[in-house]
Amino acid sequence: SVTSDDQKFCFKEVLDAFRLCLSENKEVYMEHYVAGWRGLVKFLNTLGSVFGFISKDAVGKVQILVSLLKGEDGSHYSTIQSMVKYELENQLVDLTKAGAHPTSGCRTLLRLHRALRWLELFLDSLRTCSEDSKTSVLCADAYNKSLSKFHPWVVRKAAGMAFCLLPGRQAFFDVMNVGTTEQVVAMLGEAIPLISEVYQITEDLYAQHNILDIP
Ligand code: 1PW
């Protein structure tokens, strides 16, 4: 049977999810944030099985957030803002050392949030790079400027090896399944500011509550 999940990945899914992420008063809807990540994971999986180890962690974290959203206390998880308020007020977050709440929403989302910055930088370099640029180098540069500082040596090594296996720029654009190179570049130009705004709002929220270092 053909369900929407069987259909060929299109990067527009990611764009659409991030477009729906922000409420009028700039709260971030968890439902759409998670949908954005689902799209990104699908994208990663189309790049090849070596990205399995990368996507697996993201899949697990998305799953945790979905469970919270669909769970008994789901009403508190409709936005990132309400989640932070609820979990902090009810001491549901390990703030200084790992303890009773290894899968809190705040901790879990922070890991995805850090990875989102990497993605934003990487997509932006894909958008502006020349035809003969190496995606592996762009991806590694973006990683080294962002997510790598949160990873232990062994993860950095494995990530570096996976990047080397990335397809070239054109194959990348083909996998995004958006159309011509011009259309891909235009769509990235739309998606990146949206991702960037969601990132910044989350970053500011976590900074305000002093939870950017949840272990
Ligand atoms: C080519 C497009 C790339 C976009 C997808 C980005 C996915 C990022 C996932 C990187 C994961 C690397 C391996 C897992 C590391 C985990 O230890 C780490 N997770 C993340 C998302 O950084 C930290 O999670 P933990 O171990 O504290 O639960």
Question: 67, 66, 1, 73: which is closest to 36 by C-alpha?
Answer: 66
Superfamily of domain 9-95+119-205: Glycolipid transfer protein (1.10.3520.10)
d(CA 113, CA 200): 10
Mean pLDDT, rounded, for 12-29: 96
Distance CA 114, CA 103 (A): 16
Mutate to test the pocket of ligand 1, among 151, 154, 163, 192 (most ligand atoms within 8 A of CB): 151
pLDDT band at 6; cut points 50, 70, 90: low
CA–CA separation, 98 and 78 (whole Å): 25
Contact yes or no for 118/155 (Cβ under 8 A):
no
pLDDT averaged over every residue in the chain: 93
* ipTM confidence score: 0.89
Closest among 33, 14, 39, 20 to 77, alpha carbons compared: 33
pLDDT tens digits, residue range 141-180? 999 999 999 999 999 999 999 999 898 999 989 999 999 9
Domain ranges of the chain: 9-95+119-205
pLDDT exceeds 90 at position 201: yes
**Which of 54, 127, 139, 169 for a ligand 1 pocket mutation test, highest count of atoms within 8 Å of Cβ?**
54
